[in-house]
Amino acid sequence: MVVAAAAPTGRGFPLSDIFREIDEELRRDNLLKLWSRYGRYVVAAAVGVLLVAAGVVAWRNHQLAERRAEATRYAGALNLAQGGKSADAAKVFAAIANEGGGYALLASLEEAGLLAKSGDRKAAIAIYDRIAATPGIEPEFHGLAVLLSVMQGMPEADPQRTIARLAPLTGSDNPWRPTALELTALARLKSGDKKAALDLYKGLADDLTAPRGLRARAAEMAAALAS
């Protein structure tokens, strides 16, 4: 097979190389023209993208720093409470709760617990009720707030009102069912309905899904009421 050699030029280069150089020059010239016309827009777009990316990174870093600072304050308040400085700890928890960050709910629960421990059950109940009424709160936290509110107000509260507040928590699929039933039994007993209280305690004593300690208390109460 015979291969035709590229025709030489007067400068000693093949014609194909010359055509390639001309093509590259044309492309470069077109690119320069395009850049002179639209380059500023490309630069502006690139700068805009970089600014947006930098803003996103800065915002994420800011949020992370805030969460870390909030966690540090929350841990500090817990240390104050453990060290016996309940009043100081309650103030810090109240401040965290009012700021509405990621620790707001936990801080509210801690504040209410400290207030209840100090004897200010009325203030504690107000916080628990506020938590329970928070729009969009998880059902588990709603139920917990209701239970804690009922516990603090039970000595003075009307038994029927207590029973009515606990009723939504006594469903079979509610995680707070055993505790809600135990408190309902106490309310029934307080209202003078000994038979209803006994039935509830018997049911709790036989409920294998209930915590062991609660089942033991229920069995003791059932035995005492049956005697």
Give residue 160's pLDDT: 95
Same domain? 109 vs 219: no
Mean pLDDT across the stretch 20-44?
55
Res 26 pLDDT > 60: no
pLDDT for the residue numbered 15: 45
- Indicate if 47 and 149 belong to the same structural domain: yes
Q: Last residue of some domain: 153, 184, 219? A: 153
Residues 160/128, Cβ–Cβ less than 8 Å: no
Q: How far, in whole angstroms, is CA 17 from its chain's centroid?
A: 68
39 and 124 both lie in a single domain: yes
Cα separation, 129 vs 11, whole angstroms = 95
- Specify if 106 maps to a domain: yes
The per-residue pLDDT for range 45-86, each reduced to its tens digit, is 544 454 555 555 554 554 566 677 778 888 888 888 888 898
The answer to whether the pTM exceeds 0.85 is: no
Question: What is the pLDDT at residue 10?
Answer: 45
**Of 153, 180, 195, which residue is a domain's last?**
153
Domain extent, residue 76, equals 26-153
For the chain, list the strands marked E by DSSP: none
Number of domains making up the chain: 2
Residue 36 lies in a domain: yes
Q: Quick check: is 197 in a domain?
A: yes
Range 38-42 average pLDDT: 53
Does position 89 have pLDDT exceeding 60, yes or no? yes
Q: What is the DSSP string of 183-196?
A: HHHHHHHHTT-HHH
Both 188 and 88 in one domain: the answer is no
